[in-house]
Each structure stands twice: as structure tokens, then as C-alpha cells.
A and B are shown apart, each in its own frame.
Chain A
């Protein structure tokens, strides 16, 4: 059970949040300019690292805001939290 620091509400329990999958997968500017393979890449293919992953969460039972979390998929350590549109912080070594 994670404790997640909503950028607006502060630290709250994981049950207040919903998971939104990998972050920084922008909707393609012009989907119709993509090949089927490129479009399928956007739709279906996701990173699955053993380590740090940037992902989206929404404070669904709180302020209903989406934001980004950088989380270690093994230890669950949260190394960064930032708002949508903000650049991800530099990766820690």
C-alpha cells in the first residue's frame, strides 16, 4: 500500500488514487499520418522496466487531478512527483 504525494493534496493513501499507466505517451499529433505499426506501438506497447518507471496517477477520490510519479517497480520507492506538463526531473543515478 503506497503513500503517494498528490501535488495538490499532499501525502495520501494509495486507495484514494487510480493508476493511469506509463506517462509521457503523448497522443500523436496526427494519428492518420502513422503507419499501422506506429499506431499499434502507441496503442499497445509499454515499457516494463525492473527499476524506475514514470507513470500517471489520478487522485480519483480526492481532487481528481492527474499527475506523474516516478516509481521504482521493485522497491516501490517514489523518487519524483510532478504535475502534467512539467518536465520530468533528471534521473537519479
Chain B
């Protein structure tokens, strides 16, 4: 037998499948179909947790996603997961779980010492107490608090599971498969619409599985099973079980988390994604998310054995579990009254209903009498008694008179309902407070959504079914479909849905925001609002009166916040932490709000609710990451020569998503040695670099030259075919955006190069101007970045090497001068060769279609062997270009730098207009104290400054003094060690820097300021003699 509290014959569990599990090291047994919570209760285990602040004993309080107390650590090792709700964990064989937030055990917990100090652990205690002395925070308070805080523990090994995502489009998404959701889904599905029905439970049915119900002469559970079977049989319908919709975003974008294998136990479904994150785009949504029941606040209302009435009914009906031998119910509404009687019908253990109202519905009262349950009208429970389990209640009349003590081992509470408006509110939809029903209801939707069922305060089965149908009818009308012929909900027939045509969402009037159901909401609750027994009786009662069970927030905490001046519900929430625990206050927010309103002397609508934000229930990081982890966490872009680089020992640098060779160390070399060798080769013999990643744009049309004139700062109309030019691009504000060399391939055709990181941005920029400002220009831009592979052969021997590969090409300075290109055969491949240089050396950049990139590279390597050719990476490229004072966009520039700041005025036309030109006449860009590009040489030649270091004018200013403001006169943009100079060197932007040439500035660093001398940014071959080669 799976527990002493199992009710014979009751519940939708499989008694033939007993499942052994362990909780807090104790071996127990449950059944297939149990949750961890129901299995524990079947074994009489109520005490499952210690509360967060006072470490009070806590038991299961609900049977669903709103559970505040029964938070457990599931499994061990890499599979362990903290802070799961026992009410949602499906039992499987071998399950291992443990309580959180207790030491050494849930039965004997040392943290209980906090209770002795509970008089001072009030709202704002931490903010008020741990402020002084300030020096104590870092060394004492923080470590102690960190140790005491938090719930479960994170796994200490990488997650072994895999996770998945799926995008899905549908006509209608129905959230919640209770009676309203099921009836709505059947209506729309039978019309052939692409329908998705989602429910968090293992099977559709919702409350049909949780309460005794009859539909058209069959049991509610059987009706739900038939409805599910019909929907499963339709190819236009996707029914997702064990799936929680947690976010409702713009334009009907909803996200849901499907738990696919958790119910099997860890490691039992190899290769199958454990969870799947669904991304839905729905033409219309029907929310049938139900309602949460709400507690009533009284003394010691947190004891184990105290539970919401619908939870007690669910445990009895769905799981066949009795909560104890002798139960009492405390209600203020007919819904809770009926739930108590339903529980009695299944479990037969209820002795008394305490109802705060003068009278209950007569039919319910008759049922109670018939079931042998005594009812006390006009009475309240003032206090619960007990330690680790409730053992009795003190009862008073609503006038405050003592009405005696009743023994019990469990207590059912119903203080009304809180419709699960979370998703509706996220949408965002507005809420309205219904004073008659004492709850917030959906009001105005801003998206294409309908609401139905208990979310819409339809609590009776018949009205929930009808409301679901009505929501479906409104949905069909909005989609341009006639509602189905009226069929009774019970009479399910096979439909011919598959023959109906598909309606693409875009073609129908799907975007109209949903409208509230016409007509007034019926009162199926008959509630008399009762938030707190203390406030009803107008006197202080013994015991602690909890509002938020998970964060241990009490009624007096809320009242204290009000007294201390917290008027806004958002502030009071954060000050008291009401609703800020992992359950996000699903059972406590409205109660806290009502008590705050009372304390402030305002109405509930005046105070208003806090904002509902996603996620509705917690989502693990693993599920959010999905398959985007490890090698797939981000695209790794490689060039066609990558395999050669890897095989030849390259160390790679990430440049955006590209993997570029950083340097090529020989055995035993470190980075410095490798870069020194590569730099030497480039300056004395030859080097070769993979320059494939540069952006390339083919620009074509009669107005191509005019277009370049407008987007570049320099002039292009007179550039000869076959020649290249360095171009600067600015934003309209005159700040540098990109640079690169552009070649004229024909009178109406150019090939533009962009920096590696800006390739896509520059193309978008060009298209923006062509499409929006100059649609009359005859120009087409086509990205050819990856059409071409580029091999840069650099250094004094580069001509000899290229000549060996291109014997027919005249490479003399006269025939093939600097800043020109030629087309021809290189290594037997059709190639375009540019004579340009980013190092100051004689150099050729050879372009071939990228499928020939590797072959060209190999040919160059082979041909270079006789000429000291050395492959080099981005570090050597940087050293060489910085020695020449060549800038890198994004390194020397940061969107506040003009060409003139960089000393590039020579590349800015004074004749023609171009984007940004007007800004060079602004006062700001003409300031003489703008930061200007200079070179820096350290007095200590071994010093290599950190890039980004600040520079100051004197050593005394290297220590920051807030009183005198920032002492920084500039910063270092590039910094390397130059083997050629035998010294560290740097490029820097310094205020009015060109006027400081010859002077000393100081580089700020932790180890003390370092003197550096300001000079020209060109450190090497300032005359430019080397670019034509040395013979």
C-alpha cells in the first residue's frame, strides 16, 4: 500500500504501479500518477520545509504551481535542481528529494534560532540593521548573510541534459485545458484552424480531474479524456501536456516550457531534449488559466496541515489522499464551501465548516447536513494551534466572542479566488477590481485575446463550459469563421476538421484586440470579503499572522510599512518583500494589497496591483540556452584557409565571430617571441597573412562615383580605372564610421573594402542612403565579402614571391605602382592583385574566389620558402600598422573622433559636399582642445602600457582626487612592443596632443605612473620609402 492516508478506491492514480522514492533520506512509496506532494501526504508527511526567515515548520499549502512552502531540492549530482515545487513534481521510481533552507534537518533546524529574534526581524530589518558600521559590511555582515540566505544549491557540474526550442505558428492558442479551455479548443479545432492547446498537467482536464463532476451523464475525467483523444486525433491540433506558458509578449508572442522527460527521472531518456522552449506566434489567444484560491490571515495560519480548500479537494479526488483523520474548513464563500464538501465526499474526514458569513447557499447547507458535516455560520478561526502540525483551532464569533477550541489534524481554507490574470496582464491587459467578487478580473485587452472560465469568474462547471464556447465563438468571428453548429459539449463526434482550409493569419482581421465577454459577470462565489481575522475583530490576536508564506511576511510587516510611509504598492512590496519569492506571491499578493489598502485607509482599486511580469513560473537557464551552448553558443566564422592555420599551430583571436590567427608560435616560443620573429620577417624578408575577413562590396551603376563622393570624405570622380584609394566614411555628425581601400574596376564599377567588423553595417548604411535619401541615384550594392579570399604578401621579398607565382604579370614599380590593381593568373588561378599596404612595406593583396583560397595560400607558402616568407597573425599586423600610425576603426575611434582628430585632414575634401561635412564647421569640432592622435614612447623601453590607460600631465595627478575633477588628458588607444624599435610604443588620443610633442605625459596604472614622451604617431619609415620595396 502506498501510504496510510490513501483513500481506498479514490483518485486517478495507478495503484498497480507502486513507486519507491526517498525524501530527506527516508524511503517511502507512492503510485504512478502521484506528485511528490501527494505521495508524501499519502504517507502522512506534512512537514516538508522550513520557512525562509523564521525557519518555521511548513507543509504543503496548495496542489499546484502557486505552492509557496513545499520547495525541494530534486536529485543529486549534476542532475540536481533546486527550489522545485513538490506539488508539481511527478513521482517516478527512485526519485530522491530533500528539503531546502534547513540545517541539519527539517525536523531539527538550528535556523529556528531566528524565531527567538523574530520581534526584531521585521520589514526592512536588513536595510535598517546592517548599515552601520559601514566597514562591517564586506568582512562580516555580507559573508554571514550570504551563508544564511538562499534556498537550494546549484549543481556543481555541467548540466548533462540537452534542451530544445521550437518555433510554432498557429491560428488559435488555448492556454489551460480545464473545462473552459477544453470546450474552447474543441470549438476552434473542429473548424480546421491550426490550434494549440496547452496545459501544465500530464493530462488535460484541469479541475475536471480535481473535483467530482458530471458532464452529459459521464464523469468529468472521462469527458476530459474523450475531448483530449478527439483533439489528439486532429492533424490541425497540437495538444501539449506538461507545458507551462510563462510569458505573453507583444503581438501574441507567447513562450512556454515543456517538461518532456522530467517525469521519467534523470538520465532515462538519452538523446531526448529534457525540456523544450516553445515560441508561439498566434493569430488569436484564448486564456483559460483558471483561478488560484486565496487564504485568510489568522494566527499561526502557516502550520503544516493547513491547506487551501481546492488543494485538499484535489488531493482527495485526483490522488486519493486524505490529509488526516479529522478536518475543519474555514471559508467565506460558496466556492470554498463546496470544495470542502467535495473533499468530504471523497475523503470523509471533515467534521466542521467555519463560515464567516451569516449564511451559506441553502443547497450547500443541505449537502453539509446530509454529509454529517457541522457548519458554524458567522464564525471565524482566530488562531491555529500546534508545532510541527496543526492540532486544533480557536474559534470565535464574528463579534469576537470566544466560541471554543476544536481539535483537528488538518484545516482547509478558502478566502475567495484570485483569477490567474498573470498572462492577461503581461499582454498587457488592464485589470478591474470586482468588489462583489472581491478579486481582480481581466478588463481591457490590448491584444487579440479572449478569456474564459475561472479566469473570468466562471466557477460552476456548466458556466465554465459555456464561457469557453463563447470565447471560441468570438475568436472564430474575429478570424472570419462561423462558429460550429451547436453541439452539446458532452456529445463529442468525430469531425471533418481536416478538410477545412487553412487561414493564413495575415489575411484575416486577427489583430483586433479581444473584447470582454458581453454581459455582467455572474456571482458564483457569494463571498463576504475577509482578509484578516485580526482586522475583522478589530483586535490583536495571538500567533503570527502570515501573508507571504515563502518570504515570511506577516500582516504586521505590511502595517509597519504603511506606518513608515510606504504609500505605493510597488514600494511596499519591495520593502516588505511580499510576493517577491520564487512563487511570486500567487497566494499572497492580493491579500497583502488588501491589508495595505486598509492600513492606508484607501480602497483596493485606489492602491492598485503590482505589475505582473514574465515568467509566470520559473524557467531554468538550461531551457533558455537550448542548443546554443558549447560550440554552438555563437557562430564561429572561419576562412577557407582555417584548416591550414590550425594545422600549423596558429593561436586564434576572436574578432567578432571570426577566428583569426593571432600568431603562429614555433615550438618553444611564447607570444612575444613569435610576434618578434614574425615582425622581423615582415620588415626584412616577407610575411603572409590571411586577410579574407575584410568586408567587400561591389558597387555598380552610372552614378557609382557620385555616390562614393557623397559617402566618403574624399573625392572619387577622378580616380582612374585600375587604381585604388583610401577612403574615410563619417556619420552626419562628422564622426569616423569606417575606412578602407576602394578600387575602380570600371568607369561604373567599384569594389569597396570595409573593416572586418563593419562589413554588414556599412552595406546597411549605403542601402539606407540609396533607398531613403537618394533613390534617384543609379547604383546597386552587392555584398561579395565571402566571394573572395584574400592573401596579403608583405615585405621586401613580396615582389619576388609573387613573381614566382605570376610569371606573366609585370610587377615593376612603373608597370604596377602603389595603389593600383591588376587582374591575371596567380598560381594558375584567376586572381585580382591589389598593391596596397597596411604595414608600410611593399605588399600585394591577392584575391581569388574563396573556393580557391586554400590552394592560393598553399601556393604562396610554397613559393615563399626560398624567400624567408613567414605566416603572421593579427598581432604582428597590429604592431606593423601601429608603427606606421595607421588607425583601426573601433580602436583609435569611438564615435567621438573626427578625421581631423586623427590627423587625416588630407583625406577630407574641402571642395565637394559629403555626409558629415557640415559638422566640421561646428564649434565643437573646431575646438583646439579636442583629443588628437599622437604617438607615445615610454622612458622605460620595456614598458608596454595597457590599452585604455589614462594619461595625466604630472605624476601628482595620477592619484584621483574627486575634489579636483578628472585629471585625465587622454587615453592610450593602441599599445605594443616593437622589436624594430626595441621599445614599447603606443598611440594615444590626448587633448590638444599635437601641441604637446616633445613633452612628457604619465600613464596611470596601479604600480605607479610611467613617463612617456609625446611624438608623431608614425614611428617607422616616416618618409614611406619602404612601400616600393628595397633592392
Contact = CB atoms under 8 A, between A and B. Distances in A.
A20 B281 CA distance: 24
A26 B767 contact: no
A78 B772 CA distance: 21
B50 interface: no
A75 interface: yes
Nearest to A38: B918
Given A1-B250, A20-B768, A11 B775 contact: no
Give the 3 A-B residue pairs with the shortest CB-CB distance, closest first. Answer: A31-B918, A3-B251, A1-B253
B113 interface: no
Contacts of B732: 27, 42-43
Given A27-B773, A32-B913, A75 B921 contact: no
Contacts of A31: 913, 917-918
23 contacts: A1-B251, A3-B253, A5-B506, A11-B505, A13-B281, A26-B773, A31-B917, A32-B917, A32-B921, A36-B921, A36-B922, A39-B919, A40-B922, A43-B732, A43-B919, A58-B767, A64-B763, A66-B772, A76-B250, A78-B251, A84-B771, A84-B775, A85-B775
A39 to B, nearest CB: 6
Nearest to A5: B506
Nearest to B428: A75
B922 A39 contact: yes
Nearest to B252: A3
B770 to A, nearest CB: 9
Interface residues of B, number: 28
Contact of A43 (B249, B428, B733, B764): B733
Nearest to B763: A64
A6 to B, nearest CB: 11
A46 to B, nearest CB: 13
B80 interface: no
A64 B505 contact: no
Contact of A58 (B251, B764, B775): B764
Interface string A26-54: 11000110101001101110000000000
Contact of B251 (A44, A60, A66, A76): A76
Contacts of A2: 250-251
Given A3-B281, A13-B281, A34 B253 contact: no
B247 to A, nearest CB: 10
A13 B764 CA distance: 19
B772 A84 contact: yes
B446 interface: yes
A83 B733 CA distance: 26
B913 A65 contact: no
B923 interface: yes
A34 B764 contact: no
B926 to A, nearest CB: 10
A10 interface: yes
A66 B772 CA distance: 7
A29 to B, nearest CB: 11
Interface of A: 1-3, 5, 10-11, 13, 18, 20, 26-27, 31-32, 34, 36, 39-40, 42-44, 56, 58, 60, 64-66, 75-78, 84-85
B548 to A, nearest CB: 31
A12 B922 CA distance: 41
A22 to B, nearest CB: 12
Interface string B910-926: 00010001110111000
A40 B913 CA distance: 18
Interface of B: 249-253, 281, 428, 446, 505-506, 732-733, 760, 763-764, 767-768, 771-773, 775, 913, 917-919, 921-923
A36 B919 CA distance: 8
Given A5-B506, A58-B764, A75-B428, 19 more contacts: A1-B249, A2-B250, A2-B251, A3-B250, A3-B251, A10-B506, A11-B505, A11-B506, A27-B773, A31-B913, A32-B918, A40-B922, A44-B733, A60-B760, A64-B764, A64-B767, A76-B250, A77-B446, A84-B772
Contacts of A3: 250-253, 281
Question: Most chain-A CB neighbours within 10 Å: which of B505, B763, B918?
Answer: B918
A1 B251 CA distance: 7
B775 A60 contact: no
A66 B137 CA distance: 54
A56 B505 contact: no
A78 B506 CA distance: 14
A20 to B, nearest CB: 7
A68 B109 CA distance: 63
A11 to B, nearest CB: 5
Question: Most chain-A CB neighbours within 10 Å: which of B252, B764, B773?
Answer: B764
Question: Most chain-A CB neighbours within 10 Å: which of B251, B428, B768, B922?
Answer: B251
A11 B250 CA distance: 14
B675 to A, nearest CB: 37
Nearest to B775: A85
A34 to B, nearest CB: 7
B634 to A, nearest CB: 15
Contacts of B771: 65-66, 84
A13 to B, nearest CB: 7
Nearest to A66: B771
B984 to A, nearest CB: 39
Question: Most chain-B CB neighbours within 10 Å: which of A20, A39, A85?
Answer: A39
Question: Most chain-B CB neighbours within 10 Å: which of A3, A18, A65?
Answer: A3
A66 B922 contact: no
Contacts of B767: 58, 64, 66
A66 B770 CA distance: 10
A62 to B, nearest CB: 12
A58 B505 contact: no
Contacts of A77: 446
Contacts of A56: 772
A7 B138 CA distance: 57
Nearest to A4: B251
B699 to A, nearest CB: 15
Contacts of A44: 733
Nearest to B167: A13
Nearest to A20: B768
Contacts of A40: 922
